[in-house]
Amino acid sequence: MTKSTPEGTRHRPRCRNLRREFTAKRYPGVTRIFAPQMLLRDQPSACENARVNAWPLYAASAAGACAGIAAWGAVSATSELFGPTLHHTLDASQIALTFDDGPNPAFTSQLLNLLERHQIQATFFLVGRFAHACPELVREIADRGHNIGNHTETHLNLTFLPVWRIADELRACQDSILRALGFERDATPVLMRPPFGYRGPQLWPAIRSVGLRGVAMWSLKCYDWKVQPAERLIKRLERVGERRLLPKPAGIEEKSHHGGDIVLLHDGDARALGADRRHVLAALEYWLPRWRDAGFEFVTMNQLAAPAIVGR
């Protein structure tokens, strides 16, 4: 319709002339220049091609998205894709300190002394084979009023293991801890923490089969498993107080993800006994009195294990 209008017929030759003039000036010797839309016009569009062969593309995209979601569910500390987890305290004024990969004869006793000095109870996720090697440290942890959790017997990545193999790892760790405690059942672990935080859909059936009641994850990790200057860890732990500054949700029930931090720290190294954790000790010597002065309450993981979260 535009073509037949007088304006159209007058306008088009003028445009063509202008384009020729521009081409001659800009590209001397070139008689004609193609606009991109002219080049595209004679070729089948990407959309037309897609209409013909779209299904493999859709299937690949869907498979990619599913793989991405599964990967997130397997490694994210706060995902609950493969079952419920504890990953925040109930209130932003609460901190739960957790220590993994011990007991460690080079460090755990010093850490226990520091915690006692500040009257703080924490949770220790023990590797079963280390509990077997250092039973006196396991008893010391329990005697000083801390919680003990199950961190598997040999610290394997559980993601792709079958249910029975995960159950074996958890059961062996329970046995090692129980033996170290002299079968003192009050301190028996009720929670487990998957090594590296990795988990899959087969984790919960394994947990139920050995009588454990929950999965303890975290909201804050500080990469303290690498030996580093204490200042770096002190800086990372600054984030512990930040959650309290977040606005509380108005008019709705406060949910666990608005709570405070579960802090992941390490008193041991899953690869061997005797790890150097002086940076952890120094960073906690700095922060524990400051967190106390700021009014934080320290809770253990068993205190957080409300019926709504565990035992499903």
List phi, psi (to 5°) of 258. Answer: -95, 0
Tokens of 110: 């010093």
Q: How far is the CB of 44 from Zn ion (least distance, A)?
A: 55
Q: How far is the CB of 255 from Zn ion (least distance, A)?
A: 27
CB nearer Zn ion, residue 90 or residue 158: 158
CB nearer Zn ion, residue 151 or residue 171: 151
CA dist 127 to 102, 192, 194, 292, Å? 6, 11, 11, 29
Whether 220 and 266 have beta carbons less than 8 Å apart is answered as no
Residue with smallest beta-carbon separation from Zn ion: 100
Q: How far is the CB of 208 from Zn ion (least distance, A)?
A: 22
Bridge-based pairing state of the strands 191-192 and 123-126: unpaired
CB nearer Zn ion, residue 100 or residue 169: 100
Q: How far is the CB of 132 from Zn ion (least distance, A)?
A: 16
Q: Does 169 bind Zn ion (CB under 5 A)?
A: no
Q: How far is the CB of 195 from Zn ion (least distance, A)?
A: 5
CB nearer Zn ion, residue 224 or residue 261: 224
List phi, psi (to 5°) of 149. Answer: -120, 165
Q: How far is the CB of 264 from Zn ion (least distance, A)?
A: 9
CB nearer Zn ion, residue 154 or residue 209: 154
Q: 65-104 mask for Zn ion (x: CB under 5 A)?
A: -----------------------------------xx---
DSSP state of 86: B
CB nearer Zn ion, residue 118 or residue 165: 165
The neighbouring-strand residues paired with 87 are none
Q: How far is the CB of 101 from Zn ion (least distance, A)?
A: 4
Q: Which of residues 268-287 bind Zn ion (CB under 5 A)?
A: 270
Which DSSP string corresponds to 213-250? -EEB--SEE--TTS---HHHHHHHGGGGGGGGGSPPPS
CB nearer Zn ion, residue 156 or residue 292: 156
- Give Cβ neighbours of residue 19 (< 8 Å, ≥ 6 apart): 33
CB nearer Zn ion, residue 101 or residue 169: 101
Q: How far is the CB of 108 from Zn ion (least distance, A)?
A: 14
Q: 170-209 mask for Zn ion (x: CB under 5 A)?
A: -------------------------x--------------
Tokens of 264: 């992941």
**∠ CA(122), CA(126), CA(130), 5° rounding?**
135
Instruction: With CB under 5 A as the rule, give the number of residues binding Zn ion.
Output: 4
> What interhelical angle do 163-180 and 135-143 show, nearest 10?
80
Buried-exposed string 212-228: b where 16+ CB fall within 10 A, e elsewhere = bbbbbbbbbbbebbeee
Q: Which stretch binds Zn ion (CB under 5 A): 34-42, 208-216, 244-252, 267-275?
A: 267-275
Whether 152 and 192 have beta carbons less than 8 Å apart is answered as yes
- Contacts with Zn ion, residue ranges (CB under 5 A): 100-101, 195, 270
